[in-house]
Amino acid sequence: MSYLGVIIFSYIIGSIPSGLIIGKCFWQTDLRLHGSHNIGATNAWRTLGKKAGLIIFGLDFCKGVLGVSMAYFMSPDPEPFLLVLGGIMAIVGHSCSLFLLFKGGKGVATGLGVIATLMPQAAICVFILWLLIVVITRYVSLASMVAAVSVPLQAYYWDKPWQYIIFGILAAAFVVYRHRANIDRLMAGTESKIKL
């Protein structure tokens, strides 16, 4: 029952389209119709400004935190697999939202929320790496992919349970897959840079 509850509720939490709600309610803008047509923080930053981008990043981050936390609501002493399952379902919900005909964002901010809850030390290192690459290159997509690939390495370095390492590998593969169009643009030199 704990597993089923975590799967359902973490997925629903992840499915909440933060970017779409914030964009429409406070900026009267549907992010799906602008920029990269993505509801995530990067497109919000470019389309609506830094404030909107930061708010949406924070909300998407919290979805990852809540996804993992569902395991604690369902079980007094959740095993690592149950915690990881909650995180995975939050990311899946964000990227394949129940409320958006199974479309959504790329899962980076939500994934960071998951990592911050599972292994805070790794999350700090991952975020610093992401930030450095963004500052140096201005490519958020490149920073997101490199940071994601570093997650399983961080999990191994910090001696986390093997379930966390497997999660890191799966999450990294998922993030890179979701960025396949960005990879094409990076290779062609047409990827958009972000203004800081």
pLDDT tens per residue, range 56-75 = 999 999 999 999 999 999 98
Asked if the structure places residue 194 within a domain, the reply is: no
Q: Is the pLDDT of residue 86 over 70?
A: yes
Range of the domain at 66: 2-188
Which among 100, 132, 116 is positioned nearest to 171, based on CA atoms? Answer: 116
Which among 87, 148, 168, 160 is positioned nearest to 119, based on CA atoms? Answer: 160
Q: Residue 178 in contact with residue 149, Cβ under 8 Å?
A: no
Report the C-alpha gap between 192 and 153 in whole angstroms: 28
Domain total in the chain: 1
Asked if the structure places residue 195 within a domain, the reply is: no
Q: Give CA angle at 96 (94, 99), nearest 5°.
A: 85
Residues 131-140 have a mean pLDDT of 96
Note the pLDDT of residue 1: 65
Note the pLDDT of residue 149: 97
Note the pLDDT of residue 196: 78
Look up residue 59 and give its DSSP letter. H
Asked if the structure places residue 139 within a domain, the reply is: yes
pLDDT-derived band at 123 (thresholds 50, 70, 90) equals very high
Tokens of 162: 């093997």
Asked if the structure places residue 196 within a domain, the reply is: no
Note the pLDDT of residue 166: 96
Q: Residue 63 in contact with residue 43, Cβ under 8 Å?
A: no
Beta strands in 9-148 (DSSP E): none
